[in-house]
Structure 1
Amino acid sequence: MADQSKFIEYIDDALEKSKETTLSQLFLTFHGIPYPVTMCTQETFQALDDFEARGDDVLLASYPKCGSNWILHIVSELIFAVSKKKYACPEFPVLECGDAEKYQKSVRRMKRFPSPRILTTHLHYDKLPQSIITNKVKILVIFRNPKDTAVSFFHFHNDVPDIPSYASWDEFFKQFIKGQVSWGSYFDFAINWNKHIDDENVKFILYEDLKENLVVGIKEISEFLGFSLTDEQIEAVSAQSTFQAMRANSQETHGAIGPFLFRKGEVGDWKSLFTETQNQEMDERFKECLAGTALGDKLKYESYCLA
């Protein structure tokens, strides 16, 4: 995966900032979307416009708690299988996180980042730096059903020491459904990305599909990225990339926060928290925003989200 020391150092800094931050002070708003002040700054968003994408960059896009760390690990392992070089990046890989200097013209540390660069983001498609669009960067988008996403997001907030927590699941659900959580509304994110589901350089992956058949999912990702790997290589990457394997190594790869990033990874965990009223509210929101869309069909809502 990415240079572990950089990754862990950045996460530790964010956790340190979290100690001083209450829930009411957690968000900064940029272009109408709330972001966590512990990880994002106005200056970084403004500097992001200067980011220069390369044709061989790989961008991994997701809403929070939909499997971004999992997909980052998989792509890193695929690059290792192809190049025999352990993937390392000298920056925290999330585009909108980190200090502004990594993009500013006078410094541009991102320019020294060796190819191929794996970048991740929780941004809407229309909030991406223009150079990513212009250079037709390959984009993998991972989605997870909204009910499990909400439950995982809640546990992340309330289980990780020092991160501002919510008074209850009911309180978190109210904010989630209104889009008043870090990185905003799941449904706004989904509607925005759905417009690009058929773009040639964009591939959508479903978290639940990876859980069901990881080997097939990794093979699809490998083919999309243009890698020629044998079945044995795909099997080896799969063995390194199970949820259990990632959880077992999480302390080493992500530091103290690791076990919280890879908590359960179950499909259907939402049933432990959702009330009947909340089920109906989420079902209505899904119907209103995504029913009948290409992404709505891909999410298999009836299979994964109907009680």
Structure 2
Amino acid sequence: MTRNSERNIELMDKYFSEGEKIAPEDMLFSYRDILFPASVSSPETLEALKSFEARSDDVILVGYPKSGTNWLEQMVQELADAKYTEEERKEIINAEKKVETFQRLEFGDPGIYERMKKLPSRRIIVTHLTPQLLPPSIFQSKAKILVLVRNPKDTAVSYYHFYNNLPLLPSFASWDEYFPDFMNGKLAWGSYFDHLVEWNKYIDNEKIMTISYEELKEDQVQGMKKIAAFFGFSLCEEDFLRIAKKTSFKAMKEKSSETHGKFGDVLFRKGVVGSWKDLFSKAQNEEMYRKFEDTLGGTKMAAKIKYDVYCKA
């Protein structure tokens, strides 16, 4: 269960209710040439984000939408909270309730960043943003950043279903209508290729670690050990096994109504590697391969994603 499930459910119920009243053309706004959902953010909030004050012990989690950030967030919360007693966890949850935190750094009203100063350390902060849109203090501080990446084909498919099942975003009549918008970055949070290109510039930064969704799926315990070492979390072997069981896709999907309310059904769909094979045409396979090679070919980010392993037609 997430640290503050009650708050998550309250927010998502509100968003769902409001989203049903918004015309499709009003669901997104543009900020610095990137689209964002109007129900959960605003240009004023993104401007206010520049003033966010990072702490040296902040845990920053980054991932493009539908690359596995909800799964990663839950894992990291469990890893970070392993040292706390049940009473201490309740104190953290109560503090978050008072501050009225949101699930993503870029969500909420412009006053959220002032309120976040009241949160106890270590704060776990999740975002879908690229480096140039993050507040300068994150890079100026000693805060560590974990970047999650996923093969672009599965990300595209997962985001397609997410778009069509979430009333906060305009839906698409078909996969073929959606595909050009994914390829051209005409979706909320912009281009996944641009996202990867920008984070590739930081791949050798000692304060930043990149891990792939597929790597975590192959061996979650080993992946969590790497994450714990990076952030300096101290856990025993039993902790890792317990958390892996608690945060498996099956376990999280079964509890999704408790942790995320209506949003649970939208959030937890399949959680597998390779579902892109059901939708991609031969032409779309070729187009994405060319795009990947043109933007990321030969980079360390490309090596991390292993396109030839996970995206072979």
Q: TM-score, normalised by structure 2?
A: 0.93
1:112-151 to 2 correspondence within 5 Å? 112-151=118-157
Counterpart among 159, 169, 174 of residue 153 in structure 1: 159
1:74-103 superposed Cα distances (whole Å, 9 cap, x missing partner): 011112212234353340131111111112
Q: CA RMSD in A?
A: 1.3
1:28-81 superposed Cα distances (whole Å, 9 cap, x missing partner): 111111111122101111111111111111010000000111011001111221
2:267 partner amino acid: L
Q: Is the 8 A contact 1:18 1:164 kept in 2?
A: no
1:10 partner amino acid: L
Distance in 2 between the 1:286 and 1:17 partners?
A: 37
Please state how far the C-alpha of 1:163 moved relative to its aligned partner: 4.4
Distance in 2 between the 1:204 and 1:23 partners?
A: 35
Q: Secondary structure at the match of 2:60?
A: strand
Q: Percent identity among equivalent residues?
A: 45
Is the deviation greater in 184-193 or in 43-52?
Answer: 43-52
2:16 partner amino acid: L
Distance in 1 between the 2:186 and 2:139 partners?
A: 28
1:221-260 to 2 correspondence within 5 Å? 221-260=227-266
Task: Report the equivalent of 1:38.
Answer: 39
Q: CA distance change for structure 1 residues 162 and 53 in 2, over 3 Å: closer, same or farther?
A: closer
The answer on 1:97 being equivalent to 2:107 is yes
Q: Is the 8 A contact 1:122 1:183 kept in 2?
A: yes
Q: Is the 8 A contact 1:21 1:164 kept in 2?
A: no
Task: Report the equivalent of 1:208.
Answer: 214
Counterpart among 166, 174, 177 of residue 180 in structure 2: 174
Task: Report the equivalent of 2:51.
Answer: 50
Task: Report the equivalent of 2:198.
Answer: 192
Q: Is the 8 A contact 1:56 1:116 kept in 2?
A: yes
Distance in 2 between the 1:162 and 1:177 partners?
A: 21
Q: Secondary structure at the match of 2:121?
A: coil
Q: Is the 8 A contact 1:23 1:166 kept in 2?
A: no
Q: Unmatched 5+ residue regions in structure 1? A: none
Aligned residues: 303
Q: Higher relative contact order by CA 8 Å / sep ≥ 6: 1 or 2?
A: 2
**4+ residue segments displaced more than 6 Å:** none
Q: Unmatched 5+ residue regions in structure 2? A: none
1:96 partner amino acid: E
Is the deviation greater in 292-301 or in 15-24?
Answer: 15-24
